[in-house]
Structure 1
């Protein structure tokens, strides 16, 4: 989500196999006319296609965020409820919804108007350049990782005990052609053997990989896509140590996190296991999402490096 004005929209990216409802510019405009007419005069441009959501830029300062399948619709509702409360507590910008949309004009789910945040998608840039802001990401996650209220969302795929994911993840790691498969399997098994999280459930972003981080040349500028927001074990977020950074960046991230939160060694063993678990998911659709496939390969390489 760069602040620079983007080019005229080109052809859409390949359709993700799980997308159930697409949103073209005309439908986005119709929803604005129906529900937020004061915004309907702004140009809809710069479409970005994600795994669960589709984003259109709206003018220079806003964006429209639409779930594209029924499973992701509740995730937008979680963002709408919780991000306005969490945003003031975090030291980095997040896309707290500015307006809320509802089903209409043939579109079946809630949607959001969010700020267009500054920076470039970290996954598209060189890994070595991230070390300078590794402590800032540690600070953002440390600020988020505080005890969550009892009614915080539950996510069966994030923040849960690793044993809950073993049937699925173990099969993926064992049965899919993967780079550094033995390293990934060992990391996963080490995590299963480590003591489980026994603290209070803390807020968990759920997906702080390089595709959901924005940065400029010197700083982390935003943490985006809180669709997987939930309460649980912070280790599933700390997996970003291997997903985002090389050895130097990882050392800086871990050191600052230890200063702020002091998580025990078992938490980092589980974090490494979570990183391994994400590799087959990131590599599952390389043609539709080549940038995420690159993150998956890099994660495997970082795990193999130490």
Structure 2
């Protein structure tokens, strides 16, 4: 997917585990198929999943990011009504892999798809409950740090317009540009910033027995505009459950428009980038763009 990614093998993973976590050395390692765009995943025995960044680096900032993600996992676990990944370890670079990696407890479930959800309205209410609980966690007065999702939507304008220019053969860019203009011009978030997940994609919502079971992939968790966590309304939910989600969260018109803009921003950037390399992500992008035009 990425020209600079590192494709780690199961043999390399097994050797790193044996060296750094000898208590796990007897557990079998097997790669996991995933449409994720940030990590390669490996199952270690029945209870552990290992996450290896596709773009590893020795830069201390990557290690700090992974450690921060684990800290946030512990914070969210104490407040959310569904499971989140439980940190088990932080690995270091070694032969065959030039960067840090992480270990979490395995959570059973499948990435969310409409055909796996028994009751879409109940799913929308359950997801809204998770998002509301997340937004209610005390932020301690923190504010958006000035980078990443959750800041002013207008700051994404140049990137969106560039992606629209690259997508003329892929989607209805003229209509999308009009939607983007309306979303970008919506009143800005002027209340206090809240804890946000910021990447509530279908692949980060696990379904088990037809219900929402877990929220995973916490690498983008931070503080910012709650509108960014409205993205599932367009990237996963159909029109009826979309309104159920909105009502359950009590979202005003301006926040809803910004949420629509965040969904459009993510999808229009993903579509041209992944159209040849990640069909699952490209299909989600197409679904999202159709929904924001609905």
Same fold (TM over 0.5): yes
Is 1:254 equivalent to 2:246 in the alignment?
yes
CA distance in 2, matches of 1:128, 1:186: 35
Listed as ranges, the matches of 1:243-282 within 5 Å are 243-258=235-250, 263-282=251-270
Do the aligned residues in 2 keep the contact of 1:128 with 1:246 (CA within 8 Å)? Answer: no
Q: Which of residues 291, 294, 303 is equivalent to 2:292? A: 303
Listed as ranges, the matches of 1:157-236 within 5 Å are 157-177=148-168, 178-236=170-228
Listed as ranges, the matches of 1:64-213 within 5 Å are 64-70=50-56, 73=62, 75-123=65-113, 125=115, 130-146=120-136, 147-149=138-140, 154=145, 156-177=147-168, 178-213=170-205
CA distance in 1, matches of 2:141, 2:15: 38
TM, length-normalised to structure 1: 0.85
Change (3 A) 1:293 1:116: same
Residue number in structure 2 paired with 1:3: none
Residues 206-215 or 144-153, more deviating: 144-153
Do the aligned residues in 2 keep the contact of 1:207 with 1:228 (CA within 8 Å)? Answer: yes
Deviation at 1:75, TM superposition (A): 4.0
Change (3 A) 1:45 1:130: farther
Change (3 A) 1:294 1:166: same
CA distance in 2, matches of 1:195, 1:286: 33
Do the aligned residues in 1 keep the contact of 2:194 with 2:226 (CA within 8 Å)? Answer: yes
- Runs of 5+ consecutive residues of structure 1 not aligned to the other structure: 1-15
Is 1:286 equivalent to 2:275 in the alignment?
yes
Residues 122-131 or 194-203, more deviating: 122-131
- Runs of 5+ consecutive residues of structure 2 not aligned to the other structure: none
Change (3 A) 1:155 1:294: farther
The root-mean-square deviation of aligned C-alpha atoms, in Å, is 2.3
CA distance in 2, matches of 1:209, 1:228: 12
Listed as ranges, the matches of 1:231-242 within 5 Å are 231-242=223-234
Do the aligned residues in 1 keep the contact of 2:196 with 2:223 (CA within 8 Å)? Answer: yes
Deviation at 1:239, TM superposition (A): 1.7
**What secondary structure, in the 3-state scheme, does the structure 2 residue paired with 1:145 have?**
helix
